[in-house]
């Protein structure tokens, strides 16, 4: 039985999305060495949403499949840099994977960062085997490896810097 993509609705992160987003991040990152940075960015984005303020360094978008939260992306501007955007983390529900949800989220936050004046988007990505599908997706979405720090997380698990130019 094949699954056909259902169009996802993308909207800004709301404070009420917190439990579902935290659950998606836990499923995606678990308690790995590289889980804390995306979780901290999600906390910042949810805090800004709860306070009704815009945090240019930590914003979020969610993808809805019907009335269910199917994915979340946290992104922002790089503090102190002009024209630099960053994806902090993204997670998609298992039953929504490979249906275009992640691509829709990437397209939406890249467009928003470009609207804000970003010239490029950077992703600091653990080059871990369990995250290979996420890395492949980013490469398919026009990100390229800019540089890497070997053995950053563990022996054999590098920190890879993936970049997408916007102009």
65-98 pLDDT, tens digit per residue, is 988 999 999 999 999 999 999 999 999 999 999 9
Does some domain include residue 26?
Answer: yes
Does some domain include residue 19?
Answer: yes
Q: What are phi and psi of 46, to 5 degrees?
A: -65, -40
DSSP 54-80: --TTSEEEEEEETTEEEEEEEEEEPTT
**128-to-6, 124, 131, 147 alpha-carbon distances in Å:** 30, 12, 5, 15
140-161 pLDDT, tens digit per residue, is 999 999 999 999 888 998 999 9
Does some domain include residue 18?
Answer: yes
94-112 pLDDT, tens digit per residue, is 999 999 999 999 999 999 9
Does some domain include residue 74?
Answer: yes
pLDDT of 2 over the 50 cut:
no
Q: What is the pLDDT of residue 121?
A: 98
Q: What is the pLDDT of residue 5?
A: 53
3-60 pLDDT, tens digit per residue, is 555 578 999 999 999 999 999 999 998 888 888 899 999 999 999 999 999 999 999 9
Query: Which burial class, exposed, middle or buried, applies to 20 when counting CB atoms under 10 A from its CB (0-12, 13-18, 19+)?
Result: middle
Beta bridge partners of 142: none
Does some domain include residue 163?
Answer: no
Q: What is the pLDDT of residue 38?
A: 93
CATH number at residue 107: 3.40.630.30
- 153, HSE (Cβ side, Cα atoms, 13 Å): 18
What is the rounded distance in angstroms from the CA atom of residue 137 to the CA atom of residue 107?
A: 12
| Number of compact structural domains in the chain | 1
Structural domain of 61: 9-122
Q: Compute the Cα dihedral for 55, 61, 66, 70 and give only its sign.
A: negative
Token representation of residue 19:
């439990």
Does some domain include residue 31?
Answer: yes
Which of the pair, 3 or 133, is modelled with greater confidence? 133
Does some domain include residue 160?
Answer: no
Does some domain include residue 88?
Answer: yes
């Amino acid at each position: 039985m094949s699954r056909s993509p259902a169009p996802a609705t993308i909207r800004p992160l709301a404070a009420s999305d917190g439990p579902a987003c935290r659950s998606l991040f836990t499923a995606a990152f678990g308690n790995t060495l590289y889980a804390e940075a995306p979780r901290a960015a999600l906390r910042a984005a949810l805090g800004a949403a709860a306070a009704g303020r815009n945090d240019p360094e930590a914003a979020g978008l969610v993808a809805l499949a019907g009335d269910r939260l199917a994915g979340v992306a946290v992104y922002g501007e790089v503090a102190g840099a002009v024209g630099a955007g960053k994806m902090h983390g993204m997670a998609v529900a298992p039953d929504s994977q490979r249906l275009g949800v992640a691509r829709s989220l990437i397209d939406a936050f890249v467009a928003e960062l470009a609207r804000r004046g970003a010239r490029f988007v950077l992703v600091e990505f653990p080059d871990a085997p369990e995250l290979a599908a996420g890395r492949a997706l980013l490469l398919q979405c026009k990100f390229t490896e800019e540089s890497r720090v070997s053995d950053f997380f563990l022996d054999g698990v590098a920190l890879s810097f993936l970049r997408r130019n916007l102009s």
